[in-house]
């Protein structure tokens, strides 16, 4: 083997003075002859050939260890994912997305059912508050008046997907009369939600009704629950809502003024 003559540069001199030259020997490679040169001040180092991208370097105790170089492209270290890793990650993402898409319709129906039940309870509270506030309404004739009562009208047989708040202008019946009373607000249930049953508690027994009028008299907001006639249907009623997925929620009202959302 031919000896390689090296000239000490200022950088080599600083490395020799600080003791870092021997630890950094693996970074310098003599490309012409394929041997790693000896930095000045490291007489115990033995140069070794470079094979398969692996050059001989120096350990902490001056021994020889192998240092593997990373592949380079245009002077930069090449990093990234392999094709197999990319396919595995893509497969996991597709699997999770498929589970989410399958369960989304039922989840959406549950959310709509929850919103519809809470909105029904808020509508009942709104009619109750309108009675307590002694709210005035303007009649079609232009005259402003205070209705004797405000209420909620639900017709499960004819319009199972909506209900409305009305102003009762006939204090004797406490029912919704299409020709006399005024519709204050119509509320449409969320998509896929409808009234399933209207159940009243009459004498300790449950009776299913097609129509319910839940009326609050002005100004004390006393609640009355009636069906299609002037007779009360009991001390409480349960308004049952259902979704297309079969989930059920209900709102329970009592003549004491309590309004409760049940699952």
Q: Does one domain contain both 158 and 239? A: yes
Q: Does one domain contain both 112 and 71? A: no
Q: What is the pLDDT of residues 195-238, one digit of tens each?
A: 999 999 876 678 899 999 999 999 999 999 998 876 678 889 99
- Residues 6 or more apart from 146 whose CB is under 8 A from it? 134, 135, 136, 137, 218
Decide which of 42, 75, 108 is a domain's last residue: 75
Q: Does one domain contain both 71 and 154? A: no
**Predicted pLDDT at 33:** 45
Which residue blocks in the chain are alpha helix, DSSP H?
10-18, 83-132
Decide which of 60, 75, 90 is a domain's last residue: 75
- Is 5 inside a domain boundary? no
CATH code for position 253 = 3.55.40.10
The conformation of residue 36, written as its DSSP 8-state character, comes to P
Residue 73 pLDDT > 80, yes or no?
no
- Is 138 inside a domain boundary? yes
Bigger pLDDT: 193 or 103?
A: 193
**Predicted pLDDT at 74:** 56
Quote the tokens at residue 191: 């998509």
Q: Does one domain contain both 201 and 250? A: yes
Q: What is the pLDDT of residues 10-26, one digit of tens each?
A: 666 665 555 555 545 44
The conformation of residue 202, written as its DSSP 8-state character, comes to E
Domain count, the chain: 2
Q: Does one domain contain both 182 and 57? A: no
Q: Does one domain contain both 71 and 118? A: no
Q: Does one domain contain both 231 and 152? A: yes
Residue 48 pLDDT > 90, yes or no?
no
Q: Collect contacts of 52-55 with beta carbons under 8 A, ≥24 apart.
A: 55/26, 55/29
H helix or E strand, kind and range, residue 55 = strand 54-58
Q: Does one domain contain both 156 and 31? A: no
- Is 87 inside a domain boundary? no
Compute the average pLDDT of residues 126-152: 91
Bigger pLDDT: 246 or 66?
A: 246
Q: Does one domain contain both 142 and 204? A: yes
Residue 6 pLDDT > 80, yes or no?
no
- Is 2 inside a domain boundary? no
Decide which of 36, 60, 75 is a domain's last residue: 75
Taking phi first (over 0 means left), then psi (-120 to 50 degrees means alpha), and beta for anything else, what does residue 234 get? Answer: left
Q: How far is CA 69 from CA 35, 44, 56, 77, 80, in A?
A: 15, 24, 11, 9, 16
The percent of residues in the chain predicted with pLDDT above 90, rounded, is 44
Domain range enclosing 48: 10-75
- Is 84 inside a domain boundary? no
Distance between CA atoms of residues 179 and 163, nearest Å: 17
Sign of CA dihedral 245, 246, 247, 252: positive
Q: Does one domain contain both 202 and 136? A: yes
Q: Does one domain contain both 150 and 68? A: no
- Is 1 inside a domain boundary? no
- Is 3 inside a domain boundary? no
Q: How far is CA 170 from CA 89, 115, 138, 149, 243, in A?
A: 69, 32, 15, 8, 35
Are 21 and 40 contacting, i.e. CB atoms less than 8 angstroms apart?
A: yes
Q: Does one domain contain both 258 and 181? A: yes
- Is 92 inside a domain boundary? no
């Amino acid at each position: 083997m031919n000896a390689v003559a090296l000239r000490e540069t200022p950088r080599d001199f600083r490395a020799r003075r600080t003791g870092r030259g021997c630890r950094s020997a693996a970074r310098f490679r003599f490309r012409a002859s394929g041997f790693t040169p000896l930095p000045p001040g490291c007489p115990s180092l033995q140069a070794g050939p470079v094979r398969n991208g692996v050059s001989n370097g120096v350990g902490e105790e001056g021994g020889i260890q192998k240092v593997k170089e990373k592949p380079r492209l245009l002077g930069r270290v090449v990093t990234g994912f392999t094709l197999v890793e990319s396919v595995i990650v893509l497969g996991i993402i597709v699997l999770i997305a498929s589970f989410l898409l399958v369960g989304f319709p039922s989840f959406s129906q549950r959310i709509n059912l929850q919103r519809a039940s809470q909105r029904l309870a808020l509508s009942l509270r709104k009619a109750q508050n309108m009675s307590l506030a002694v709210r005035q309404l303007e009649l079609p004739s232009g005259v402003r008046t205070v209705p004797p009562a405000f209420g909620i009208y639900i017709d499960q047989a004819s319009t199972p997907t909506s209900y409305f708040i009305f102003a009762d202008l006939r204090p004797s019946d406490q029912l919704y009369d299409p020709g006399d009373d005024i519709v204050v607000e119509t509320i449409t249930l969320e998509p896929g939600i409808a009234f399933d049953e209207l159940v009243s508690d009459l004498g300790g027994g449950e009776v299913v009704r097609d129509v319910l009028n839940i009326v609050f008299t002005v100004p004390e907001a006393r609640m009355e629950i009636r069906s299609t006639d002037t007779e009360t249907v009991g001390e409480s009623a349960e308004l049952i809502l259902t979704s297309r997925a079969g989930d059920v929620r209900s709102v329970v009202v009592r003549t004491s003024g309590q309004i409760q959302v049940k699952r």
